[in-house]
Structure 1
Amino acid sequence: MPTLLITAALLLLSLQTQAQQTQSGVIKGQVMTEDGKKVLYGTVNLNGKYSVKIDKDGWYMFDKLTSKNNTLTVNIMGLAPQTKTVTVETGEEILLDFNLTANAEILNEVFIVGNKYKITSKKKSEYVSRLPISNLENSQVYSVVDKELIKEQMALTVEESFRNVPGAAPAKTGAGMPSFFSRGFQTSENFRNGMATYLRTGVDLASVERVETYKGPSSTLFGAQMTSFGGIVNYITKKPYDHFGGEIGYTMGSWDLSRMTLDINTPVKDAEGLLIRLNVARQTENTFQDQGNSATLLIAPSITYQVSDRLKFTLNADFQSAQGITPAGWITSPTLGLTSFKDLNLDYRISLNDNSLVSKQASTNVLLDAEYKISDQWTSQSRYAYSGGSYDDLYIFDFIWQNKSSVDRVLRAFTDEKTVRKNFQQNFTGDFKIGSLRNRLVVGFDYLSSYRSTRYDGLGYGGKVFEPANLDNLGSTPVIRIEDVESILAKRNTGQNQTKESTYSVYASDVLNITDQLLVMASLRVDRYIGDGTTNTKSRTTVGDYNQTALSPKFGLVYQIVEDKVAVFGNYMNGFKNIGSKLQPNGEVSVFKPQEAAQLEGGVKLDLSDKLNATVSYYQIDVTNSLRNDVTTQGTYVIQDGTQKSKGLEIEIIGRPFSGFNYVASYGYNDNEFTKAAENVMGKRAAGTPKNVVNLWASYTIVNGKAQGLGLGIGNSYVSDAFIDNTNTFTLDSYNLLDATVFYNRPKYRIGIKANNILDKQYWVSDGYYARPQKPSNFMINFTYKF
């Protein structure tokens, strides 16, 4: 691994060095504040193509220039850019100084603190509506967690970022993938840069610029295969920038956590407009339980090439691997007679697992993006994404409670699984007027194909294979090791199940300015789903093949009471899920419609410069066309008249009341029930969904004086009770997490210490079926060198 990091660094450094040997002619100068102080950090850009850093004495220099006419722009985070033009003859040296309209105290805050949550508060996203509109012009509610907030919280995985999302309760899927509950529904799939993924690992934040969550059913622009009625997750990867730079970091912590990261970026002057960036992360860690460990690796290259003022190509990828012991899922049942984990005879630190059962997982994502400016009004964007994953032996225990002291042990073995998603998207985006009315329109085509091949064995389902664990006498319980599992699997031949499906979609969305302050959105998607079903390679039988067409509309209204400051909004949003046909007891085949979700939402958005950003909204989501069982004397029929209702309130406030102090606070309330369903769940709450979620993160950094850059952050996350089952018989207890960090942030380095779960709470998360214990109190220490 060190060899890989050194090789990558030397390669990019050599490109940087080589790129500095082809120019002739010099522009140099000093950058000063309005009160005569040197500007020590920032960049100066040349002709929109290449930047250099301002040095510790306030100087910058471009040498060996070949262009006669040059435009220079000073870029300081948090300040408006300042631009000058200059003519340079061959062999001439030009002195060009800049004087910024800011004093030294303001710059201290910019350099040491920055507007840390600027992206988080401004919610700038080109993906949520696929249109260039601001948060206050958008009738949909969404949240953005930027890399600066992620860095301050020392978050390592995408699920940790969910604790900054209003109303989001982090969870894990059955296979341990990151997910969360939002607005009464589970969101378990992740988009990457607005395109489909098919992950078989988690998401390492080392390659992530920001995490965006779009609230409510979002099928109109994002389809049905990967969307939830409660919202979607879209993580945005880091892109190259126009000057040389980067950082190297090392983190250590509890349970032998060891993590090394590299982020290096360089422009290539010999190929003007070509930028390269590489992110690498390597992490190993044991667990808080008696058995368990993990090792992960991320390699994420990214390249952009600005061919001309009109044409730009982007190619980025990430390759992730994970190896270790997969945490077990604990399962309860309504017949257990107990109501929470407190009633069970369980040592929180006992895993009932074994370190010989090593799982191997991998994920690959590749995105090619071509953007072409057709005219001043129209842009074309062509995108192709490949996403694949694999399980090369994935072993997951299901521990099923029989009584308070006895656990049945079932092992789910995925001994060979491959997944592939291919996503092609073509968008045409326009900004034009019809008469006096401004239109921002996107018209697009989307093709998504998915393939999954898996061999799965449930060792213990359909008949006991392993002896149950006796929690009163664990010493008498045999340990299940890899050789035991392999000997059983060798006697089985279940064949592989291969599933293929594809979707063809067209969509259009228009935001119409009736006035500068009144905006109307209208959108529609036509979606054709083709399911080839699942074929078993042993029996050569295919089941579940069907085709389906769906329409998905979306409407929104925004009125800015105070232009660009305060807006009221309302929306109608649609989501759908494709449902296949069912064979009924009388021999007939019932063909069903897609399951539908309709959301009505209204609220207020505020954007008061950099001091306060807030969103308050109330929503109601009605789900129809759900399937339910109808028991008759002839047998159990499946009918499509099930309904569910979910409603609630969400509040998000992001503030910077005074210099150096920042906070992000949110509250989510959700009330949901099955309004027409099977008798045992009628009127009950959906599994896994808490009523109340409260999140707060606040930090203060000293801006001036000898302690400049020293800071403190503190966070609290509260998630109320939820049920583990739809019958509402077993409760997942509420939890309250307190975290804190102390850091020292300088332009060239950063030191951070973080304590998580300071109150040492023992808590569980669940996807509504499986429950998993989470980390008790732990700590991390990080050192990052910036260059």
Structure 2
Amino acid sequence: MKSDRVLLASFVFAIASIASPEFFKFHISSASAENLSKPSSQIDSIENGKVQSVQDLRQVSTSASELLAETSTNLVQITGVKLNPTANGLEVALETTSSSISPPAPQTSGKLLYFDIPNAKLALPNSDRFLAENPADGIANVSVIQANASYVRVIVRGINAVPKAMVTTGNPNSVAQVSNEAKEEEEEITITGETDRKTTYREPNASTATRTDTAIIDTPQSIQVVPQQVLKDQQVVRVDQALRNVSGVTGELSGFSSAQSLTIRGFVTESFANIPILRDGFRTYSNLSPQETTNLERIEVLKGPASVLYGQADPGGIINLVTKQPLAKPFYDLQLQAGSFGFIRPSVDLSGPLDTDGNVLYRLNAAYQRSDGFRNFDTKSERFFIAPVVQWKISDRTKINFFLEYTNDQIPYDVGLPAFGRGVLDVPRDRILGERDDSLKSRAFSIGYKLEHQFDDNWKIRNAFRYSDQNLKVESTLPFIFNEATGTLARLYGRRELQSNDYSLQTDVVGKFETGSVKHTLLAGVDLNWSVFNDVFTKISRAQILPLNVFNPTYGLFSRPNFDTVPQLPESDTAISRTGVFLQDQIAFSDQLSVIAGIRFDGVTNRNTFAGTSRYDSAWSPRLGLVYKPIETVALFANYSQSFTPNVGQDVNGNFLEPEKAQGYEFGIKAELTKKLFATLSYFSITKQNVATPVSILEPSVSVATGKQQSQGIELDISGEIAPNWNLIASYAYTNARVTEDNSIPVGNRLPGSPYNSFGIWTTYQIPDGDLQGLGFGLGVNYVGNRTGDRENTYEVGDYFLTNAAIFYKRDQWRFGLNFNNLFNINYISGVGGTSRTFGNSPGAPFSVVGSIGIQF
């Protein structure tokens, strides 16, 4: 829209007519500040499909004479209500038995937008009303009720403001669908909330924290969302690039064995098995392949222990990648990106119906990516990704999604740089310490379904399955001793192949009910997982040591051995079965006070199929959270939660130790600074115990579960729209993460990779009108403080301050973008390994430019 103060939705009613069709439109401007500032006691709400406090609504006639006059006519039967997501909002379809409905005029009161349909009767087959909660962004609920004997009322409640509407009536053949059997016609309504989801930096709802679609302000735990628009504006192609927008998250999310690590609230996820990545709520326990961003709708980061809903996980938090789902209207998005270091990336996003009734929808995302990289490798980075999704609406109450993802990826195998003295080896950032043809190849395939059945307006069941198959091959030069006095790095040739199979089944029931004046949202479910990790072979050639002068390297001096003659290291194949049972209740005592209480039991059986050993671990994981809202736009929250992770440490008899466990508490405040700008400020304290620690320096392989680590800090996140066309996402974190008990590491040592201070700001502005309409600019900075490189704190990685910028132009269906990353070419270390001085410190990328051109229709 040209005006930055008018946000419109559209209600489209298709009316059958014998005469030539007529169209009429109602353009409604944004709600006035007077309406938006009403006290909550004057704002209408919808409960059980009825309007409460309706004194502000236009009252439908109830006098006996008028009712007699109305009921003397034949009432149009409304026999069905359908909700269909669209690219811009929501489509509501009313199925009627005739074509004599008069076009209704939209009316508003408080946050309500409502329509009165005269001479109509609600005749749904299984209910006397229709109610859908949170059907679209910006929409709290949609209700269709019988207002009196001859009026049907459609009520739409906005979350932050009254939805806006444009009403059009016309030829039904162009927009309505007709059932040949029942000869019914559909009245189509398209609804959009007060913001366009595709251009906003604020996501009001998130499902990761509760596994239900809950408003973030009503969630008693820190959760930050990186929406799709941020990914587009920053031209993000890696998940860790997006995570720089989230407080308390630093480092790199790299491939298996590449040694770089990610930290969340100070806890490092150095093991590939502990990387806390979910995809649509599914956990993959062995991440052998990269996480693609092409089909991501948004990224949700839940802070703190989260085992109550997801089982084993490190206590810092989890990352849920929410993927794009099929749309009811045809949608096509084609994009080409190209930039520095030979980077090129075409991608497509296609969606729409596959049948004339709109009951079968599809979405297809695909991308190809190639890059030479800024490091001095001959191996090119190359990736192909495709992800189709098909949704079948079996009935008004039942739908099923089938999905598939396939990734084929090749990157250089990069071990980074070693420590040198009290810092990191100071060499040019393109310097590599392996060989130029070192490579890491991975392939990942996953397939599954998600079935949802709505028993009625209050109860539903969900069942989902996902199978994942991953394969990884590494051919590399491995560093094992670095002589800092001579600058000589001793290396060995190695080759490895791994395979992982992962089966996950999730079933849960969600129900809403009341006990007196107290409202409940109950969640109960079972998670089953079985995963097999197969070390196909690991071979390291010890016959020849490959020295490299790190200050004056010469590559290609040695030939790779015939690995057929190299003996294989002992196998460590494992099969793990996991069973989780959970129960959660979201209890609303009033509009101001709510509580969430949950508990989960997990049983994990770990079998080493090669050694013939097994271990069973179990854990209870509770959570208790409280939200108090003194006013509608401010929430005070507090929570306590626990998590667990099976321990890989072994005692003197070779038995695995008790699982690592963690307890965390958090309290803070969430606030709508404006209707489109949201902030979260929190304090947290997390204690992790049963950390494996060596019995003594003389026996480093024998451990006891007595170690403890603690992380405390403050985090601030802000996202949304500062003013019309001016978006912002910003974060700050102070984190103090330390060892509090250990046999070998001094108490008080900082945890590796975790800075005391970090912050980031990214903002964009787009010119709304005039000759430069559609032209936009973006500017951002990121700061990460000093970090220790290992648990022993033998060296430190310096801080860095990056500046990024963008210029873009949007006009009609076209978008052009140009992003400038690391604008001042700062030399920095982006990620640390945390386990060894010999490798694992990853140089950050230099100044680079990425351009894009895209069309959407």
TM-score by length of 1: 0.83
Q: Any idea what the Cα deviations from partners look like across 1:143-170, whole Å, max 9, x if unmatched?
A: 1111111101111111110111111103
Q: Distance in 2 between matches of 1:675 and 1:154?
A: 41
**Aligned residue for 1:261?**
347
Q: Distance in 2 between matches of 1:524 and 1:380?
A: 19
Q: Is the 8 A contact 2:751 2:791 kept in 1?
A: yes
Query: Is the alpha carbon distance of 1:72 and 1:601 closer, same or farther for their aligned partners in structure 2, counting shifts above 3 Å?
Result: same
Q: Are residue 559 (structure 1) and residue 628 (structure 2) matched?
A: yes
Q: Distance in 1 between matches of 2:281 and 2:376?
A: 40
**Aligned residue for 1:756?**
821
| Partner residue of 1:721 out of 771, 780, 786 | 786
What is the letter of the counterpart of residue 284 of structure 1? R
Query: Is the alpha carbon distance of 1:613 and 1:577 closer, same or farther for their aligned partners in structure 2, counting shifts above 3 Å?
Result: same
Q: Are residue 384 (structure 1) and residue 472 (structure 2) matched?
A: no
Q: Is the 8 A contact 2:789 2:834 kept in 1?
A: yes
| Partner residue of 2:641 out of 573, 576, 594 | 573
Q: Any idea what the Cα deviations from partners look like across 1:626-679, whole Å, max 9, x if unmatched?
A: 232233999986333222211000001124232111111110111021111024
Query: Is the alpha carbon distance of 1:745 and 1:495 closer, same or farther for their aligned partners in structure 2, counting shifts above 3 Å?
Result: same
Query: Is the alpha carbon distance of 1:246 and 1:692 closer, same or farther for their aligned partners in structure 2, counting shifts above 3 Å?
Result: same
**Aligned residue for 1:43?**
none
What is the letter of the counterpart of residue 130 of structure 1? R
**Aligned residue for 1:703?**
768
Q: Secondary structure at the match of 2:244?
A: helix
Query: Is the alpha carbon distance of 1:494 and 1:243 closer, same or farther for their aligned partners in structure 2, counting shifts above 3 Å?
Result: same
Q: Is the 8 A contact 2:535 2:572 kept in 1?
A: yes
**Aligned residue for 1:627?**
692
Q: Distance in 1 between matches of 2:314 and 2:849?
A: 34
Aligned pairs, how many?
714
Query: Is the alpha carbon distance of 1:451 and 1:590 closer, same or farther for their aligned partners in structure 2, counting shifts above 3 Å?
Result: closer
Q: Secondary structure at the match of 1:206?
A: coil
Q: Distance in 1 between matches of 2:855 and 2:843?
A: 35
Q: Any idea what the Cα deviations from partners look like across 1:551-581, whole Å, max 9, x if unmatched?
A: 1111111101112x10101100101112368
Q: Distance in 2 between matches of 1:401 and 1:168?
A: 30
Q: CA offset at residue 426 of structure 1?
A: 0.6
Query: Is the alpha carbon distance of 1:678 and 1:33 closer, same or farther for their aligned partners in structure 2, counting shifts above 3 Å?
Result: same
| Partner residue of 1:218 out of 302, 306, 325 | 306
Q: CA offset at residue 680 of structure 1?
A: 3.5
Q: Is the 8 A contact 2:391 2:402 kept in 1?
A: yes
| Partner residue of 2:849 out of 770, 773, 779 | 779
Query: Is the alpha carbon distance of 1:617 and 1:634 closer, same or farther for their aligned partners in structure 2, counting shifts above 3 Å?
Result: closer
**Aligned residue for 1:501?**
576
Q: CA offset at residue 393 of structure 1?
A: 4.0
Answer with 597-606 or 486-495: which moved more: 486-495
Query: Is the alpha carbon distance of 1:631 and 1:526 closer, same or farther for their aligned partners in structure 2, counting shifts above 3 Å?
Result: same
**Aligned residue for 1:80?**
163
Q: Is the 8 A contact 1:761 1:776 kept in 2?
A: yes
Q: Distance in 2 between matches of 1:454 and 1:364?
A: 18
Query: Is the alpha carbon distance of 1:191 and 1:632 closer, same or farther for their aligned partners in structure 2, counting shifts above 3 Å?
Result: closer
Query: Is the alpha carbon distance of 1:634 and 1:230 closer, same or farther for their aligned partners in structure 2, counting shifts above 3 Å?
Result: closer
Q: Any idea what the Cα deviations from partners look like across 1:186-223, whole Å, max 9, x if unmatched?
A: 24231100012243221221111111111011111110
**Structure with bigger gyration radius:** 2
Q: Distance in 2 between matches of 1:93 and 1:440?
A: 36
Consecutive unaligned residues of structure 2, counting only runs of 5 or more, are 1-17, 30-79, 107-134, 139-161, 178-185, 270-274
Report the RMSD for the aligned CA atoms in angstroms: 3.7
What is the letter of the counterpart of residue 767 of structure 1? G
Query: Is the alpha carbon distance of 1:83 and 1:749 closer, same or farther for their aligned partners in structure 2, counting shifts above 3 Å?
Result: closer
Q: Are residue 670 (structure 1) and residue 752 (structure 2) matched?
A: no
Q: Distance in 2 between matches of 1:359 and 1:414?
A: 10
Q: CA offset at residue 493 of structure 1?
A: 3.4
Query: Is the alpha carbon distance of 1:316 and 1:177 closer, same or farther for their aligned partners in structure 2, counting shifts above 3 Å?
Result: farther
What is the letter of the counterpart of residue 619 of structure 2? A
Consecutive unaligned residues of structure 1, counting only runs of 5 or more, are 1-23, 36-45, 55-59, 536-540
Q: Secondary structure at the match of 1:465?
A: strand
| Partner residue of 1:33 out of 23, 27, 37 | 27
**Aligned residue for 2:333?**
247
For residues 559-708 of structure 1, the aligned pairs below 5 Å read 559-563=628-632, 565-579=633-647, 582-584=650-652, 592-631=657-696, 638-708=703-773
Q: Is the 8 A contact 1:218 1:232 kept in 2?
A: yes
Q: CA offset at residue 72 of structure 1?
A: 11
Q: Distance in 2 between matches of 1:634 and 1:600?
A: 36
Q: CA offset at residue 347 of structure 1?
A: 2.6
Q: Distance in 2 between matches of 1:555 and 1:728?
A: 36
Q: Are residue 423 (structure 1) and residue 510 (structure 2) matched?
A: no
Q: Distance in 1 between matches of 2:369 and 2:259?
A: 18
Q: Distance in 1 between matches of 2:699 and 2:293?
A: 54
Q: Secondary structure at the match of 2:206?
A: coil
| Partner residue of 2:200 out of 116, 122, 146 | 116
For residues 131-150 of structure 1, the aligned pairs below 5 Å read 131-150=212-231
Q: Is the 8 A contact 2:491 2:547 kept in 1?
A: no
Q: Are residue 184 (structure 1) and residue 276 (structure 2) matched?
A: no
| Partner residue of 2:406 out of 296, 303, 319 | 319
**Aligned residue for 1:370?**
451
Query: Is the alpha carbon distance of 1:651 and 1:439 closer, same or farther for their aligned partners in structure 2, counting shifts above 3 Å?
Result: same
Q: Is the 8 A contact 2:677 2:720 kept in 1?
A: yes
What is the letter of the counterpart of residue 278 of structure 1? L
Q: Secondary structure at the match of 1:118?
A: coil
Q: Is the 8 A contact 2:276 2:317 kept in 1?
A: no
Q: Secondary structure at the match of 1:160?
A: helix
Q: CA offset at residue 533 of structure 1?
A: 1.9
Answer with 172-181 or 760-769: which moved more: 172-181
What is the letter of the counterpart of residue 169 of structure 1? T
Q: Distance in 2 between matches of 1:289 and 1:171?
A: 16
Query: Is the alpha carbon distance of 1:711 and 1:520 closer, same or farther for their aligned partners in structure 2, counting shifts above 3 Å?
Result: same
Q: Distance in 1 between matches of 2:105 and 2:410?
A: 47
Q: Distance in 2 between matches of 1:450 and 1:72?
A: 56
What is the letter of the counterpart of residue 181 of structure 1? T
| Partner residue of 2:617 out of 548, 566, 574 | 548
Q: Are residue 309 (structure 1) and residue 396 (structure 2) matched?
A: yes
Q: Distance in 1 between matches of 2:104 and 2:281?
A: 33
**Aligned residue for 1:175?**
257
Q: Is the 8 A contact 1:199 1:387 kept in 2?
A: no
Q: Is the 8 A contact 1:697 1:715 kept in 2?
A: yes
Query: Is the alpha carbon distance of 1:618 and 1:404 closer, same or farther for their aligned partners in structure 2, counting shifts above 3 Å?
Result: farther
Q: Distance in 2 between matches of 1:671 and 1:414?
A: 39
Q: Distance in 2 between matches of 1:178 and 1:313?
A: 38
Query: Is the alpha carbon distance of 1:93 and 1:524 closer, same or farther for their aligned partners in structure 2, counting shifts above 3 Å?
Result: closer
**Aligned residue for 2:369?**
283
Q: CA offset at residue 737 of structure 1?
A: 1.0
**Aligned residue for 2:588?**
513
**Aligned residue for 2:385?**
298
For residues 13-92 of structure 1, the aligned pairs below 5 Å read 29=23, 31=25, 33-34=27-28, 48=82, 80=163, 82=165
Q: Are residue 468 (structure 1) and residue 468 (structure 2) matched?
A: no
What is the letter of the counterpart of residue 627 of structure 1? A
Query: Is the alpha carbon distance of 1:496 and 1:727 closer, same or farther for their aligned partners in structure 2, counting shifts above 3 Å?
Result: closer
Q: Secondary structure at the match of 2:220?
A: coil
What is the letter of the counterpart of residue 352 of structure 2? T
Q: Distance in 2 between matches of 1:101 and 1:358?
A: 50
Q: CA offset at residue 31 of structure 1?
A: 4.9
Q: Is the 8 A contact 1:175 1:396 kept in 2?
A: no
Q: Distance in 1 between matches of 2:361 and 2:484?
A: 60
